[in-house]
Amino acid sequence: MCKGFLPVSKQDMEEQGIKELDFVYVIGDAYVDHPSFGHAIISRVLVSHGYSVGIISQPNWRDPDSITLLGRPRLAFLVSAGNMDSMVNHYYVSGKKRPTDAYTPGGVMGKRPDRATAVYGNLIRQRYKDVPVIIGGIEASLRRLAHYDYWSNSLKRSLLLDSQADLISYGMGERSIVEIAEGLDSGIAVKDLTFIPGTVYQTKDISGIIGAQREEDNAILLPAYQEMKAQPEKYAESFGIQYKNTDPFTARTLVEEYPGGIYVVQNPPQKPLAMEEMDDVYDLPYMRACHPSYEPLGGVPAIHEVKFSLISNRGCFGGCSFCSLTFHQGRIVQVRSHQSILQEGEKIVKDPDFKGYIHDVGGPTANFRHPACEKQLKSGACRDRQCLFPSPCKNLNADHQDYLTLLRKLRAIPGVKKVFIRSGIRFDYLLEDESDLFFRELVAHHVSGQLKVAPEHISDKVLQKMGKPGRNVYEKFVQKYRQLNRQMGKDQFLVPYLMSSHPGSGLKEAIELAEYLRDLGYMPEQVQDFYPTPSTLSTVMYYTGIDPRNGEKVYVCRNPHEKAMQRALIQYRDPRNYDLVYEALKKGGREDLIGYDAKCLIRPKKGSFDGIPARKKADAGKLDQVSQHKKRTIRNVHKKKR
């Protein structure tokens, strides 16, 4: 028995005095009992409410008996692919298989199936026909309605149907999973649990949610699945409606029709957790480690990234088009108290492996420590505008004082040498703060040699599609960062994350980015090619060629060769990219960037006239003609002699 961990075997159940588990949780990850892992949070929340939970981690999906390891649960099976979508976990955007899996013992790849949630759900149905199956986690959450699937290049059905599950618990799920448990425990059939916020169910009767007298009480009927398959623009229309219904205060029920008279119904999201509730979740007795049975295999690599990090918040009002946070955690920022975070910090210090460095204090966006404005906690986030895009809202509360105070307290814990911030910093929000005190302390205390930020691109046309601030905002941030470093006598770098081939980016925009990097004197070591993952605005643009926010047409780079050229332009100094950059500049009509001038990106090919002024080209051409004539004359003389 591994004391403190949830049961993973019948022997564990016997030693813990459990004859029958209330829930069996099937996960695609290794079992890591740490609050950075969704299965740990949901399991610990259920246990705190008096329910027993056992874990089946990475079952052999080729063997239906692997799902019977802990017996039949009294209430339900819970299923999650893990902390990542299983397809993103397995494949690069190029389609090439990834060599390792950070969420598997020893980093071994191949311990979970593709589309793990659906596979596990069907595996359970082979052995347990009548036990409720509840799916959740990032994979289920972002595939809860019809969605574009990049790996099959098709519009797929709701994962609820393909997994044969009864319910999806989407989003973070602490509230909804407790309500589901209480409903099942009280004897309510799973088919009747249609009223819980943060869930998705299927039905053949929608009369109870369609036809109310008040429009706001009516569910919204989305375009039907078959209609969206036939007309991709209908999917853009549907997603536009979904995007405006992600807020728990204002969202309406959404209904999607499928063949056979089946309807998939999405209830509005669960309400955000209050600070006290957040504390309760993160103060649960996590072991903060992977299960000891994995130690002979080298442990689980993913724990190393979070073991000495602290989660401060969740939710994000940044609104990046390529990010799924709006659909999963929502736009309303929820935070833990200083006391809760400091208590966890003191636990970290006592860990024998702790070297004095707290790696991160943050969340999706580190410097969001409160909702964007006071209105959000009363009325929700605005349906028709973003907090920061295209420009910061006049009601935005850009104040870092609370976060700054928290960081100071953490720095003061005995045994802590440094507190770093490695979560994303939203630099446009930072610049909106009238005080630069946080910016100063960030540079002075919380940068580990280099600060990573995400401008993503510098073409305003592309940035608009990304939902990111304009180029001038990033340049203002860079100027301030360098100024503060000079004032403090520090030599800390700024590492920008950049993305190629995002919808809206053609060769012209990619060349514009390459010129910017040339002027900056910087070549990134890594470039992220846009990855169309489920349920993001950018993915909808990629699939449909339409911006669902306004119905505008969007240029989409889908050709693998052009994608390679866009990526190569960002790393134009790498000799391995020379031919791709040369081709891109020729195709983009920018031969002026091939030559010997300081503004040129690459040198001409050997023997070519690239980069030579027109007059000199003509002279060179004449000389070449003379040279060719001499060579022909010499060859003719030799022929006559022979």
pLDDT per position as a tens digit, 363-375 = 999 999 999 998 8
The Cα 248–Cα 331 span in angstroms is 10
Question: Which tokens is 246 given?
Answer: 């992600």
Measured distance between the N- and C-terminal CA atoms of the chain, rounded to whole angstroms = 95
H or E segment and range at residue 581 = helix 578-587
Q: What's the CA angle centered on 610, arms 604 and 613, to 5 degrees?
A: 130
The Cα 633–Cα 200 span in angstroms is 84
Question: Which tokens is 20 given?
Answer: 């029958």
Measure the CA dihedral 628/631/637/642, to 10°: -120
pLDDT higher at 640 or 96: 96
90: CATH: 3.40.50.2300
Same domain, 623 and 598: no
Residue 637: the pLDDT is: 45
Same domain, 575 and 638: no
Residue type, 600: C
pLDDT digits (tens, 9 = 90+) for 3-51: 899 999 999 999 999 999 999 999 999 999 999 999 999 999 999 999 9
Residue type, 20: E
Nearest to 455 by CA among 377, 378, 516: 516
Same domain, 511 and 625: no
Query: What are residue 465's phi and psi, to 5 degrees?
Result: -70, -30
Domain count, the chain: 3
Which among 171, 199, 227 is the end of a domain?
199
Nearest to 535 by CA among 168, 276, 259, 258: 168
The Cα 556–Cα 544 span in angstroms is 9
Same domain, 113 and 150: yes
Predicted confidence (pLDDT) at residue 629 exceeds the cutoff of 80: no
Predicted confidence (pLDDT) at residue 75 exceeds the cutoff of 50: yes
Residue 642: the pLDDT is: 45
Predicted confidence (pLDDT) at residue 609 exceeds the cutoff of 90: no
DSSP, collapsed to helix, strand or coil, labels residue 431 as: helix
In a domain, 415, yes or no: no
Count CA within 13 A, CB hemisphere, residue 479.
7
Would you give the DSSP letter of residue 640?
H
Same domain, 74 and 163: yes
Out of 166-170, 210-214, 620-624, the most confident range is 166-170
DSSP, collapsed to helix, strand or coil, labels residue 236 as: helix
pLDDT digits (tens, 9 = 90+) for 373-408: 988 988 899 988 899 999 999 999 999 999 999 999
The Cα 380–Cα 387 span in angstroms is 12
Residue 521: the pLDDT is: 87
Residue 28: the pLDDT is: 98
Buried b (16+ CB within 10 A) or exposed e, 497-525: ebbbbbbbbbbebbbbbbbbbbeeeeeee
Per the listing, tokens 């040498």 go with: 417
The Cα 379–Cα 86 span in angstroms is 35
* Mean pLDDT in residue range 91-98: 96
634's CB contacts (< 8 A; 6+ apart) are none
**Chain mean pLDDT for the chain:** 93
Residue type, 243: Y
Helices 437-445 and 471-487 meet at what angle, rounded to 10? 60
Residue 625: the pLDDT is: 52
Residue 574: the pLDDT is: 95
The Cα 484–Cα 441 span in angstroms is 10
Per the listing, tokens 């995007």 go with: 243
Predicted confidence (pLDDT) at residue 69 exceeds the cutoff of 60: yes
Same domain, 91 and 182: yes
Q: Where are the alpha helices (DSSP H) in 192-268?
A: 225-230, 232-243
In a domain, 436, yes or no: no
pLDDT digits (tens, 9 = 90+) for 306-363: 999 999 999 999 999 999 988 999 999 999 999 999 999 999 999 999 999 999 999 9
The Cα 352–Cα 329 span in angstroms is 33
Residue 641: the pLDDT is: 46
Q: What is the value of pTM for the model shown?
A: 0.92
pLDDT digits (tens, 9 = 90+) for 472-508: 999 999 999 999 999 999 999 999 999 999 999 999 9
DSSP, collapsed to helix, strand or coil, labels residue 380 as: coil
Same domain, 596 and 574: yes
Same domain, 524 and 625: no
Would you give the DSSP letter of residue 575?
G
Same domain, 120 and 162: yes
Which among 199, 228, 256 is the end of a domain?
199
pLDDT class for 166, splitting at 50, 70, 90?
very high
Question: 41, 13 in Cβ contact below 8 A?
Answer: no
In a domain, 303, yes or no: no
Would you give the DSSP letter of residue 297?
G
pLDDT digits (tens, 9 = 90+) for 520-547: 888 888 889 999 999 999 999 999 999 9
pLDDT digits (tens, 9 = 90+) for 546-591: 999 999 999 999 999 999 999 999 999 999 999 999 999 999 999 9
Same domain, 493 and 640: no
pLDDT class for 464, splitting at 50, 70, 90?
very high
Same domain, 53 and 173: yes
Tell me how long the chain is.
642
